[in-house]
Structure 1
Amino acid sequence: MQKAEKRLQAILQKYNTNFVTKDYSKLDVNKKIFFKFRFMCLNKTTIAFMGIIFMLVAAGHTTNLFNNSTCMIDMPSDASKWFREPEICDICESVTEVVKVKNVSASAFYSNFVGPAKPVVVTDGAKYWPASKIFTFKFFQKLYKSSNHESESSSCQFFPYKTEFTSLHEALNMDVKRAELENGEPWYIGWSNCNDYAGRILRKHYEVPYFLPNTSENIALNWIFMGGPGQGAHMHVDNVQFPSWQAQLKGKKLWRLAPPPECYYKCQEMQVTVESGEIIVVDTNRWYHQTFILPGEISITIGSEFD
């Protein structure tokens, strides 16, 4: 144990944090591990990361590594894909388009779409929600200012995408002309709401989608995405517990859906435009997805997981 501790300290002293995070494939420990795994179908970067984990385990650092809020080593944003279980391609083999339905019953919704994990757009899903008229940039700016959003825990996630913002507070205080899309400078952000006060206010203006049965549990945590024309979220797959619904309250958003890599030769990519008042439902844990905000007014969506 002491030997492993000394070895780990030597590695950390020799290489600064940036090197360990971005170029750990060059660590000399990688050579020893790669030699033993040279016949396995693993790349050097993955094996190097495994080597560091083995060192941490041997040195007794696993408790701090997995329990502390501050990570010892920052994982790449797509690290969850490395350990994703292979998909059974029947979720996409017979799917050639994202269908649009309306006035769908809960039983039909579950049997036709949720069960087989087929994406769907419900055209009358959010048609009469007050949120479509009430939710604006200024509404969120005022809401989070009054709810003291800055005091929230770090569990509230913020996605700056390609903007320079580092927090929701910073984004909601952007220049007024930029916020109103008047100066031609694009922006798109997303965040999870874990502010109880803000959550209560938000839920006054929308409801659980009518096509979800009473037995379905709608996760309280909401996701909000907002921004102007241009690329929204990059192509990715989520790492959440359940399928998700996302209501298009303002603007129009183009969704590009792709099958898992192991199904590329059996399935095809699809695209669908979600209009204001429509709700898209997709299992984002299984379908890769990318979004584009179409020309017009600012896009505002709200969504949640459901079981």
Structure 2
Amino acid sequence: MEQAEQRLQEILGRAEKLGVPPRGLVRLGAVKKLLAKRQQSSQHAFLPVLAGILSATLALVYSLGLHTHYGFSRAWLKWHQLDVYDQVCTISMPDQLTKAFRPPEDCSMCQGINQVEKVSKISPHHFEETYAYTGRPVVVTDAMENWTAQHVFSFQFFKEVYEESPLMGCQFFPYETEFTQLREVFNMSQDRAHMKDGTRPWYIGWSNCDDRVARIFRQHYGRPYFLPPTAESKKLDWIFMGSPGYGAHMHVDNVEHPSWQAQLRGRKKWTLEPPPECYYQCGPLEVTVEPGEIIVLDTNRWYHKTLIVSDEMSITIGAEYD
């Protein structure tokens, strides 16, 4: 009980530093539930109190509107009956809080790796043994030979596909733009969308959870041939698109599985850094992914940032695999 209360005090201290007044915290539904649980619990009821503290933390994050790449599943929120999180897929978590709860990594994931290898004609068995679940990044250069996505996917294509979608993306990443949702992206001027001189650059990402849209997407790409037979490529598509000179900041993800990302258009430079506990055993890596190549990376373990280094728009699509 003392440990749980101490943790609560830490959370309240962080809230104060962020400028959230105590009265504002008291009005949060999750905090009210926590206080009620504390009154009903015995001194040995540690887990319910801890769960309440985490719920209060999540409510605080949502009320502040903070966002990064990190999120918690809707199922987890529904389990704790947090109606305030009635979102389509995920809510956002601040970077520092995610790092605080991240378990330490086994540094064998990066020891002895000096570069991101580029391979072709790799068998699923070799891929599974060497890369699939080891944390070792790799770029496969010949995995889009039968895809039409490279020739079809464009800003206009996505705009037209989503015109009839009520969801307009499941989770949206504005990065350094002013956009707050995918609909605003598709409503930008044609000049800016096509990166005409004098217009503001942009880079965004989103996940698709509209089944109709997913079926359209997957008419133009298939399961990467190198995935092991027992691996399942998840149904949720991730799309990243934007202008030269832009990209994602350095971060680590909080998703369930490793993922692959197919570079359909443009060139994107990836900078990878090992987790802090591995700094003295592993070094940073860089690789530029060319059109037609797929990078496979466990973004939960490697800190990473991206930069579009081509003169044309970059379009990337990918998914997790288990």
Q: What TM-score do the two structures reach when normalised by structure 2?
A: 0.75
Correspondences of 1:114-129 after superposition (within 5 Å): 114-129=132-147
The answer to whether the aligner puts 1:134 opposite 2:185 as a matched pair is: no
The answer to whether the aligner puts 1:177 opposite 2:154 as a matched pair is: no
**Aligned equivalent of 2:320:** 305
Structure 1 position 127, deviation (Å): 3.6
Instruction: Find the structure with the greater CA-based Rg.
Output: 1
Task: Give, in whole Å, the separation in 2 of the partners of 1:259 and 1:75.
Answer: 21
Give yes or no for contact 1:21–1:75 (8 Å, CA) kept in 2.
Answer: no
Quick one: structure 1 residues 235 and 177, their matched pair in 2 at CA, closer, same or farther if it must change by over 3 Å? same
Give yes or no for contact 2:137–2:297 (8 Å, CA) kept in 1.
Answer: yes
**Aligned equivalent of 2:246:** 231
- Which runs of 4 or more aligned residues in structure 1 lie more than 4 Å from their structure 2 counterparts after TM superposition? 18-21, 53-56, 63-66
Quick one: structure 1 residues 101 and 205, their matched pair in 2 at CA, closer, same or farther if it must change by over 3 Å? same
The answer to whether the aligner puts 1:196 opposite 2:211 as a matched pair is: yes
State the Cα deviation string for residues 60-108 of structure 1 (Å, max 9, x = none).
Answer: 393785432525x985244211100011111111111000000000000
**Aligned equivalent of 2:117:** 99
Q: 1:270 aligns with which of 257, 274, 285?
A: 285
Q: 1:279 aligns with which of 294, 303, 313?
A: 294
Quick one: structure 1 residues 100 and 67, their matched pair in 2 at CA, closer, same or farther if it must change by over 3 Å? same
Q: Which amino acid is 1:198 matched to? A: V
Structure 1 position 266, deviation (Å): 1.0
Q: Which amino acid is 1:161 matched to? A: Y
State the Cα deviation string for residues 150-174 of structure 1 (Å, max 9, x = none).
Answer: 5x7xxx1000000000100111111
Give yes or no for contact 1:251–1:300 (8 Å, CA) kept in 2.
Answer: yes
Q: Which amino acid is 1:70 matched to? A: V
Partner secondary structure for residue 84 of structure 2: coil
State the Cα deviation string for residues 116-153 of structure 1 (Å, max 9, x = none).
Answer: 21000001122441000000000000000023335x7x
Structure 1 position 215, deviation (Å): 1.8
The answer to whether the aligner puts 1:222 opposite 2:199 as a matched pair is: no
Q: 1:112 aligns with which of 130, 145, 163?
A: 130
Give the number of equivalent residue pairs.
264
**Aligned equivalent of 1:88:** 106
Partner secondary structure for residue 233 of structure 2: coil
Structure 1 position 56, deviation (Å): 5.9
Give yes or no for contact 2:203–2:242 (8 Å, CA) kept in 1.
Answer: yes
Question: What CA RMSD, in Å, does the superposition of the two structures yield over aligned residues?
Answer: 2.9
The answer to whether the aligner puts 1:157 opposite 2:175 as a matched pair is: no
Q: 1:59 aligns with which of 3, 24, 36?
A: 36
Q: Which amino acid is 1:246 matched to? A: Q
Q: What TM-score do the two structures reach when normalised by structure 1?
A: 0.79
**Aligned equivalent of 2:162:** 144
Correspondences of 1:200-211 after superposition (within 5 Å): 200-211=215-226
Q: Which runs of no fewer than 5 residues in structure 1 stay unpaired?
A: 1-7, 28-52
Give yes or no for contact 1:149–1:169 (8 Å, CA) kept in 2.
Answer: no
**Aligned equivalent of 1:243:** 258
Q: Which amino acid is 2:37 matched to? A: G
Task: Give, in whole Å, the separation in 2 of the partners of 1:88 and 1:238.
Answer: 17
Q: Which amino acid is 2:103 matched to? A: E
Partner secondary structure for residue 191 of structure 2: helix
Quick one: structure 1 residues 117 and 75, their matched pair in 2 at CA, closer, same or farther if it must change by over 3 Å? closer
Task: Give, in whole Å, the separation in 2 of the partners of 1:74 and 1:242.
Answer: 18
